[in-house]
Chain A
Amino acid sequence: GENVEQHPSTLSVQEGDSAVIKCTYSDSASNYFPWYKQELGKGPQLIIDIRSNVGEKKDQRIAVTLNKTAKHFSLHITETQPEDSAVYFCAALYDYKLSFGAGTTVTVRA
């Protein structure tokens, strides 16, 4: 099955700075890579996704890049705000199932 690794496990940034989270996946057949934000006690919320036929996608302050050759993808949050503080999960879709990374706890310091 698919194995997704995510780094770092925790990330503390100053408000206004950028945050970058990186993930790698093992199976080259994976073709869909979503990123989720999870707040305490709530379910994951999709914030951005990318498909294997695209190298980069941007939505306001959030961007995702995908390197299929290296099998890694990254989440970039610019101009971070306190409300960006949460746990972020990357995932890869393989065989119609999502495999999740271990999560990154992001803390934005005011």
Chain B
Amino acid sequence: GAVVSQHPSRVICKSGTSVKIECRSLDFQATTMFWYRQFPKKSLMLMATSNEGSKATYEQGVEKDKFLINHASLTLSTLTVTSAHPEDSSFYICSARGGVTGELFFGEGSRLTVL
């Protein structure tokens, strides 16, 4: 099946720095990608919808200036956590819609730890 790759899988950073997470669709073009946040032992919470060539659509309560999303090409979306703080520590997961069926494929997730 289709593969979605996320990088890095784990990142540790100091408070106040910015961190970029990449999400790539490896064998299909994805006009739409989604970013989720998952707390330990909790479900996936949709943060934003990323559309190639246009601004991302953020869910209610998600700070767009804190979580910058860029979808510059049909195979790459990035999530930048700006001025990270310990409360931003979480598991971030992207998904991409693609293929003939329009099925959603998930990346392996990125574990962010802010010290």
Contacts and interface: CB of A to CB of B under 8 A. Distances in A.
Contact of A44 (B6, B41, B106): B106
Contacts, number: 43
Interface residues of A, number: 18
Interface in A34-49: 34, 36, 41-46, 49
Main secondary structure of the interface of B (DSSP, over half): strand
B104 A100 contact: no
Contacts of A103: 41-43
15 contacts: A34-B104, A42-B108, A43-B6, A43-B93, A43-B108, A46-B104, A46-B105, A96-B49, A97-B49, A98-B95, A99-B46, A100-B43, A102-B43, A103-B41, A103-B42
Main secondary structure of the interface of A (DSSP, over half): strand
A99 B43 CA distance: 10
Interface residues of B, number: 21
B111 interface: yes
Interface of B: 1, 4, 6, 32, 34, 41-44, 46, 49, 93, 95, 103-109, 111
Given A96-B32, A97-B34, A97-B49, A45 B106 contact: yes
Nearest to A4: B43
A51 to B, nearest CB: 10
A36 B106 contact: yes
Interface string A39-75: 0011111100100000000000000000000000000
A41 B106 contact: no
